[in-house]
């Protein structure tokens, strides 16, 4: 039931963007693993969405940064590139490392390895993938985040929170790509 409510909330947010469809869910959950999947459509070209994705500092919520300032974020869109945050005197965090950037038949994919936020100190493995496809005059965007680790971590209890945070970021990305502002 929670999945339906959250998917409905995301659909309402995306509908305000002129999105044709939206779907979000914690697709799989176990004590040692979970999979979050989010899909949506936006009235922006795949190129616009791709460029927006690369400017994470413009759409990621500052509430979900270490520094409190999303302008401190950077995403180097190349294999080996860093999704990093730097602030103050020598303070920094690597949120994730880019492991794949690929385009095939008009579909673009970027994949990052990293345990985001509080997951980082727990030591699980996290794989975050964004896929952008042409969809009529706009673009279809999919996000998946697969996290796995020791069953003793209780990842099943964290999955709904991670789902909420990622849904917020996803909606901000689509708003930024479609309207030029994340809010």
Q: Does the structure show a pLDDT above 90 at 3? A: no
Regarding pTM above 0.75, the answer is yes
For residue 169, give the CATH number of its domain: 3.30.530.20
Residue 172 lies in domain: 2-179
Angle at 18 between CA 163 and CA 59, to 5 degrees: 50
**Alpha carbon of 151 to those of 50, 91, 119, 158, 172: distances in Å?**
35, 32, 14, 12, 32
Total count of domains within the chain? 1
- Cα 77 from Cα 112, distance rounded (Å): 10
Q: Is residue 23 very low, low, confident or very high in pLDDT (cuts 50, 70, 90)?
A: confident
Give per-residue pLDDT as tens, 49-101. 999 999 999 999 999 999 999 999 999 999 999 999 999 999 999 999 999 99
């Amino acid at each position: 039931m929670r999945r339906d409510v959250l998917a409905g909330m995301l659909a309402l947010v995306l509908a305000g963007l002129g999105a044709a469809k939206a779907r979000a869910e914690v697709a799989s959950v176990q004590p040692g693993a979970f999979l979050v999947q989010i899909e949506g459509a936006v009235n922006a070209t795949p190129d616009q969405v791709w460029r927006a994705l690369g400017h994470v500092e413009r759409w990621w919520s500052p509430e979900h940064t270490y520094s409190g300032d999303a302008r401190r974020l950077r995403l180097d869109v190349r294999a080996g590139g860093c999704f990093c945050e730097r602030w103050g005197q020598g303070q920094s965090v690597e949120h994730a490392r880019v492991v794949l950037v690929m385009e095939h038949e008009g579909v673009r994919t970027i994949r990052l390895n990293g345990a985001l936020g509080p997951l980082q100190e727990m030591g699980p493995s996290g794989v975050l993938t964004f896929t952008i496809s042409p969809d009529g005059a706009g673009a279809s965007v999919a996000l998946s985040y697969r996290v796995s680790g020791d069953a003793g971590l209780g990842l099943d209890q964290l999955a709904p929170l991670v789902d909420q945070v990622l849904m917020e970021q996803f909606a901000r990305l689509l708003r930024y790509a479609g309207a030029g502002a994340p809010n």
